[in-house]
């Protein structure tokens, strides 16, 4: 009886966890989305000729697999984007281990807010305020906490202009 009760508790916990991720996950499941990066350098990312549209390669088949991994069986148009946990502008990979279904509709944290963080971290890398690895690790660990650390404790309607500080690091 005790073993059956333990199995039941574990099963309910796993189901609750899966359904929590299936309903607009604010953060990716680290077991499913590890945040794979490429070997691109900060210098290359900071070149004016670098454009993420030239780098993005996520097929419809990949998107379907990512939704399935997260237990999302149906959704409305523009409810989610299959997002790179570590964005291409921060050296993220198109590999499925760097992709997750990020909601556009959750409030206050959503894909639009994460885009602000990616833009700010890219600027910080290119202005020697943070290393590429520091930016990647901050997003991989918890993008919401990274936003709070580098931008604001709460999401902003518009990203303010960054301020230049004395450069303390080199790429």
pLDDT < 50: residue spans in the chain: 5-22, 170-171
How many residues are there in the chain?
A: 171
| Cα–Cα distance, 145 to 153 (Å, whole number) | 8
| Cα–Cα distance, 120 to 141 (Å, whole number) | 17
User: CA torsion sign, 159 to 163 to 169 to 171?
Assistant: positive
pTM above 0.95, yes or no: no
User: CA torsion sign, 155 to 142 to 93 to 105?
Assistant: negative
Q: What is the reported pLDDT for 171?
A: 45
- In the block, tokens 């997002």 appear at 83
Using one digit for the tens of pLDDT, what is the confidence trace for 140-171? 999 999 999 999 999 999 988 888 765 555 44
Where do the domains of the chain lie?
2-150
- In the block, tokens 């992709």 appear at 99
């Amino acid at each position: 009886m005790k073993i059956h009760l333990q199995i039941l508790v574990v099963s309910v916990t796993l189901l609750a966890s899966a359904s929590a991720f299936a309903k607009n996950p604010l953060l990716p499941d680290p077991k499913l989305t590890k945040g794979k990066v490429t070997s691109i350098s900060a210098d290359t990312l900071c070149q004016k000729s670098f454009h993420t549209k030239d780098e993005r390669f996520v097929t419809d088949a990949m998107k379907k697999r990512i939704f399935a991994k997260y237990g999302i069986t149906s959704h409305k148009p523009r409810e989610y984007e299959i997002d790179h946990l570590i964005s291409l502008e921060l050296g993220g990979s198109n590999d499925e281990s760097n992709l997750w279904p990020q909601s556009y509709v959750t409030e206050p944290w959503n894909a639009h807010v994460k885009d602000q963080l990616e833009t700010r971290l890219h600027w910080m890398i290119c202005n020697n305020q943070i290393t590429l690895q520091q930016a990647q690790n901050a997003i991989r660990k918890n993008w919401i906490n990274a936003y709070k650390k580098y931008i604001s404790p709460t999401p902003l309607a518009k990203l303010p202009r960054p301020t230049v500080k004395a450069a303390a690091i080199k790429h």
